[in-house]
Amino acid sequence: MGSTGSIGRQALEVIEACGMSVAALTANRSVELLERQARRFRPELTVAADEKAASDLRVRLADTDIRVASGQEGLLEAAALESADTVLTAVVGVAGLEPTLCAVRRGKRIALANKETMVCAGQLVMDEADRCGAEIVPVDSEHSAIFQCLQGSGDRREVRRLILTASGGPFYGWSREQLREVTLSQALKHPNWAMGAKITVDSATLMNKGLEFIEAMRLYRMPPEKISIVVHRESIVHSLVEYCDNAVLAQLGAADMRLPIQYALTWPERTIGPARPLDLLHCPPLTFGMPDCEAFPCLAIAMEAARTGGTATAILNGANEAAVGLFLEERIGFMDIPALVERAMSVVPVVQAPQLEQIMAADRAARDAVRSTAR
Ligand SMILES: NC(=O)C1=CN([C@@H]2O[C@H](COP(=O)(O)OP(=O)(O)OC[C@H]3O[C@@H](n4cnc5c(N)ncnc54)[C@H](OP(=O)(O)O)[C@@H]3O)[C@@H](O)[C@H]2O)C=CC1
Ligand SMILES: CC(=O)[C@@H](O)[C@H](O)COP(=O)(O)O
Ligand SMILES: [Mn+2]
């Protein structure tokens, strides 16, 4: 799901290289690429969430036997498809939540890239996964690294701490004053990774690390005090696990998402695939430092939402999606993102132990709060 995006396109490279087959492909509006992917991978179903795009796709694929569906209904149909054993969720944003939950309820393996799902509804998704026997295998590079470092450890009490690495983004070392002048094109230049626009901006504000902090809490059922963040500019050590005997295990690799994507699809096995190898003799020195929460307030705001729990993390995420959307349209400045998120957090009430409807309501209220403040 999200086959036309950065993760989706790389997933199809992995799928082709590993000789796997595709049951369904979904996108929002990118019908030209979706048509090309459908002709190459021959899924039984393609979905364009956007209705007009789906009408166009129906015409484009009229000479094939590939079914075309649309809207939220189509996404849910793809997520539940009988012939699929695994659903790779690479839709961006909270739009991925309901399809992910639907696949979880069908007991599928979820190769989870869509971190916003875990941020908004991680508790609910994990509980449903336990109930329905669904495996959730992370694709996000840090969480995949932790997942790999946890292999062979059956008892979570052995783990003292998860250590998430952060690149620091394009503005590492900048002051708040300098950050006020950041332009969209500067924010879209990640130092190490080529990714979709939304996550690239999140990396620049450090909100990405805040979302990943919450994602790690939910995926590994860890309290916030057992998760640390270190800045690692080189993005070679993808994250680490510290055990109670002081052993620290890390996963290293090139900055290439095809490896975590592949591992989520093949786990517990490893196979030869298209990811670039890591050449230790040509690596830069590996450095580690502290994140600057004063200059990058998004990280502290996200960690506060993590500690509050309930719908606080859905409010955080909804406000951030709305604010990043406005920044991408060049309607607000870079430092308006944390300000708008913080304001939404202060005006939208938090509900504890929420159901899906309450999570979605919190998401809508947070977006409204951002739009009405930014107007
Ligand atoms: N890119 C990366 O390296 C990494 C990404 N992630 C996470 O993976 C997810 C995907 O990121 P990325 O691939 O960068 O994002 P992109 O923006 O590149 O791709 C997003 C995909 O989702 C589809 N989409 C967008 N909106 C909707 C919607 N409302 N309904 C259905 N489909 C929709 C897009 O379709 P269309 O093309 O038609 O717009 C596209 O296929 C995010 O949650 C991100 O945080 C995590 C780690 C690394
Ligand atoms: C590739 C990946 O997983 C991204 O989430 C990446 O980690 C972004 O890097 P930073 O947020 O550390 O800049
Ligand atoms: Mn990541």
* Domain positions in the chain: 6-139, 143-293, 309-370
Domain 6-139: which CATH number of 3.40.50.720, 3.30.420.40, 3.30.413.10, 1.25.10.10: 3.40.50.720
The SS3 of residue 354 is: coil
| Pocket flag, ligand 2, residue 208 (CB < 6 Å) | yes
Proximal ligand: closest to the CA of 3: 1
Do the domains 309-370 and 6-139 match in fold? no
Considering the chain, what percentage of its residues have pLDDT values greater than 90? Answer: 99
What spacing in Å lies between the alpha carbon of 123 and ligand 3's midpoint? 20
Ligand of minimum distance to the alpha carbon of 192: 2
Nearest atom within ligand 2 for CA of residue 255:
1
Give me the helices (H) in the chain, please.
Answer: 6-17, 31-41, 51-60, 71-80, 97-105, 115-132, 141-150, 176-179, 184-187, 197-205, 207-220, 258-266, 297-308, 312-328, 336-347, 356-374
- Per-residue pLDDT band for 74 (boundaries 50, 70, 90) equals very high
Q: How far apart are CA 179 and CA 118, in angstroms?
A: 29
Q: Does domain 309-370 have CATH number 3.30.1300.10?
A: no
Largest CA distance in the chain: 62
Q: 269-278: per-residue pLDDT in tens?
A: 999 999 999 9
- Which residues are registered as beta bridge partners of 136? 110
pLDDT at residue 39 tops 90: yes
Coil vs helix vs strand at 273: coil
- Mutate which of 33, 144, 195, 276 for ligand 1? The one with the most ligand atoms within 8 Å of its CB, which is 195
- Judged against a pLDDT cut of 90, whether residue 315 lies above it is answered with yes
Angle at Cα 139 formed by Cα 118 and Cα 186, nearest 5°? 85
ipTM reported for the complex, 2 dp: 0.99
Q: What is the mean pLDDT of residues 25-41?
A: 98
Contacts of 293 (CB under 8 A, 6+ apart): 206, 299, 300
Determine if ligand 2 sits within 6 Å of the CB of residue 303: no
Tell me, using a 6 A CB cutoff, whether residue 170 lines ligand 1: no
232 annotated as ligand-binding: no
What is the per-residue pLDDT for 268? 98
Using the predicted structure, report yes or no on whether residue 375 has a pLDDT greater than 90: no
- Distance of alpha carbon 322 from alpha carbon 252, whole angstroms: 34
The pLDDT value given to residue 190: 96
For 211-248, what is each residue's pLDDT tens digit? 999 999 999 999 999 999 999 999 999 999 999 999 99
* Segment 133-181, tens digit of pLDDT: 999 999 999 999 999 999 999 899 999 999 999 999 999 999 999 999 9
Arithmetic mean of pLDDT, 70-78: 98
- pLDDT at 67 > cutoff 90: yes
According to the annotation, is 52 in a ligand binding site?
no
Q: What is the pLDDT of residue 195?
A: 98
pLDDT at 217: 98
Q: Is 30 annotated as a binding residue?
A: no
Return mean pLDDT, the chain. Answer: 98
pLDDT score at 35: 98
What ligand is nearest to the CA atom of residue 113?
A: 1
* 324 CB within 6 A, ligand 1: no
Residue nearest to atom 2 of ligand 2 (CA): 141
- Average the pLDDT over 11-17 and give the result: 98
